[in-house]
Structure 1
Amino acid sequence: MSSTVSTPISFDYPLQDSAGLTCTAQAWAKVPPHLAGPEKAAVIERIKQLLIEKDAALVAHYYVDGDIQDLALATGGFVADSLEMARFGKNHSAKNLIVAGVRFMGETAKILSPEKRIFMPDLEATCSLDLGCDTNDFAKFRAQYPDRVVVVYANTSAAVKAQADWMVTSSCALAIVHQLKVEGKKILWAPDRHLGRYIQEQTGADMLLWNGACIVHDEFKAAELEILKAAHPNAQILVHPESPQAVVDLADVVGSTSAMIKAVVEGTAAEYIVATDKGILHRMRQLAPNKKLIEAPTAGNSATCKSCAHCPWMAMNGLQGILDCLENASGEIFVDEPIRTQALGCIERMLDFTANHPDLLAKAQHGFVKNIGAA
């Protein structure tokens, strides 16, 4: 199968924001204090009571605090990747949905369920990929290539999704792009260049890439990962495809958060080096308590933090924020028309595809072999 070289384009925000700011310092400054002891127990019990009284459900991403993940599961909510979060919110009967994650996840829930009230613990919890894909600049980029199918990653604003033909998550991106390639479509991709390059090399699709990156996954270091692997020669290396190519090339398994968890639970290795946000380790340890999990390095030995892979915006989700949603109706998400309706099509198209092709989803790639197609 022939491969088309992916071409990054000129819109590049090295600091992840079209205004030239990362906002990460502000994000870390807003991380809520970790509750403990009787205070934490009291807040959790109050949240449980209010979830029932308010006809609300709590859905949490794998990257948020472990206490929030546990609370979601204990109250009939859900802990998942962004694809399954979208499905859950759409199908759940609750009138109110609390989304513990980052803003694009809350927006997606509102787009799919306009009749529900959607709340988030902190509305300022965003994403570097979202910040780095400005709506107006993306429109200019898209206008240059009217013959291409527009595929955007879930980590984008509602306004960017409103310009897309397809939304994808890391669980279904390979399968959907592969299908588009089979249909002879040329693709315009945004915003993560690492994930776009990975998909392009796996499928051989003709793709033009926006030049964005996740501030967490972009920091993994191949040289340090090789050193860690030498110290743990029998460990399997699990890598999220938002990571740089040199890191992906070292992986035993490349996949979405769901696929990585599945690889640990079903794998036969005793040790796993995990190259994604460290929040996922909480759920991995619960589901595979006998496996040893090692955080992949994001810095060299001289750094104060050898592995600091945690999203500052995901860290802004706290138990007190959830309580505020329920007690004070704070953090409500709104998506104005016609943006909501325009964005709905690309999301529903993804959900329809994944519902009809469940066998193609969340299957990790073993090793890095170009042009093998969707797995």
Structure 2
Amino acid sequence: MSSDTLLAFDYPQQDSAGLTCTAQAWAKTPPHLEGTDKAAVIARIKQLLLEKDVALVAHYYVDGDIQDLALETGGMVADSLEMARFGKSHPAKNLIVAGVRFMGETAKILSPEKRVFMPDLDATCSLDLGCDASDFAKFRAAHPDRVVVVYANTSAAVKAQADWMVTSSCALAIVHQLNLAGKKILWAPDRHLGRYIQEQTGADMLLWNGACIVHDEFKAVELDLLMAQYPNAMVLVHPESPQAVVDLADVVGSTSAMIKAVVEGSATEYIVATDKGILHRMQQLAPHKKLIEAPTAGNSATCKSCAHCPWMAMNGLQGILDCLENASGEIFVDEPIRVAALSCIERMLDFTKNHPDLLAKAQHGFVKNIGAA
């Protein structure tokens, strides 16, 4: 990315008062239910999901109780690619998407005939917030010769301007194919994932300057110390992390690829550098393996590993019940935006359907220009 692009499209994490964009998210963390109160809410949710023909789909990063509830009721716990596929193919007339707003928007874009709800409509994403649609339009207009590839973590209005939408499960494979076709790429919004893909494929990529507030906080110095403490542990890193962290990884991959690495790997210990919400499903699938949270801060910090998205944390059981009882949290996408955004999502889904062998392949080590292999 050129220095002028960096200055023009950098997204400030703080306002003039020093407040971060996560303040409202942390303030809205739902109360934690316990005992008979939790059991009663879960029982009522199960009843209403069935009565009202609703499927619940949850991301790996949301609360473990919600993940369990989705699986117990015939829904799905998945990464954003599988969530998109599930919502489109499931016969239910209604969907509840436990995750962040772009996931609900994607479900609505793909299934306009369904009613789509979310436990809290304010649950968003720093990547989405950091890629304003009007600013992105200027960025895109300045580079008309480039194929526009946007990460799933963007608004419907940004997707409406894109040629391709990708997730971390398929981004490497899709960019590799575009590079083989001689295409130059305009990428948004995560700079770390974009840089990783650029180095892996050798593609000509111009990068928007965005970052995930969770993955951007992993620290290589602290990770190196933790690796010395657990010398036999395999290190798993999501490619949204900074380069110095990625460079220490044994495996770099999407959430689904990281889970696969734990389940199928021969190691007994794993250091995991992604949102700690994933540990719930990992531990269920690999109960005899030790999972260690990668560090986001040093020993003197209040929190040694703070890797949890504050917006994912806004998803609660009570919010799901409110969707079912009061039809709260419904997602709407203006029809012109929906139609414009649909093509880039369907293009991704068609690619992943036709090239399943290229997807979710975690890279072992950091080897440049290996493409999607």
TM-score (norm 1): 0.97
Q: Give the 5 Å matches for 1:268-283.
A: 268-283=266-281
Q: Paired residue for 1:294?
A: 292
Q: CA deviation at 1:19?
A: 12
- The DSSP-based 3-state class of the residue aligned with 1:324 is helix
Q: Give the 5 Å matches for 1:291-370.
A: 291-370=289-368
Q: 2:44 aligns with which of 40, 43, 46?
A: 46
Distance 1:370 1:185, change over 3 A: same
Q: CA deviation at 1:14?
A: 3.0
Q: Distance in 1 between matches of 2:34 and 2:2?
A: 49
8 Å Cα contact 2:13/2:21 also seen in 1: no
Q: Paired residue for 2:231?
A: 233
TM-score (norm 2): 0.98
Q: Paired residue for 2:159?
A: 161
Q: Give the 5 Å matches for 1:57-96.
A: 57-96=55-94
Aligned-residue RMSD, C-alpha: 1.4
8 Å Cα contact 1:148/1:187 also seen in 2: yes
Equivalent pairs counted in the alignment come to 370
- The DSSP-based 3-state class of the residue aligned with 1:35 is coil
Distance 1:97 1:19, change over 3 A: farther
Distance 1:288 1:122, change over 3 A: same
Q: Distance in 1 between matches of 2:100 and 2:82?
A: 15
* Stretch deviating more after TM superposition (204-213 or 20-29): 20-29
Q: Distance in 1 between matches of 2:94 and 2:298?
A: 45
**Percent identical across equivalent pairs?**
89
Gaps of 5+ in 1: 1-5
Q: Paired residue for 1:3?
A: none
Distance 1:258 1:300, change over 3 A: same
CA deviation vs aligned residue, 1:305-345 (integer Å, no higher than 9, x gap): 00000000000000000000000000000000200000000
Q: Distance in 1 between matches of 2:187 and 2:80?
A: 18
Gaps of 5+ in 2: none
- The DSSP-based 3-state class of the residue aligned with 1:274 is strand
Q: Distance in 2 between matches of 1:369 and 1:335?
A: 40
- The DSSP-based 3-state class of the residue aligned with 2:271 is strand
8 Å Cα contact 2:42/2:317 also seen in 1: yes
Q: CA deviation at 1:25?
A: 1.6
- The DSSP-based 3-state class of the residue aligned with 2:206 is strand
Distance 1:18 1:110, change over 3 A: farther
* Stretch deviating more after TM superposition (80-89 or 27-36): 27-36
8 Å Cα contact 1:50/1:326 also seen in 2: yes
Distance 1:204 1:7, change over 3 A: farther
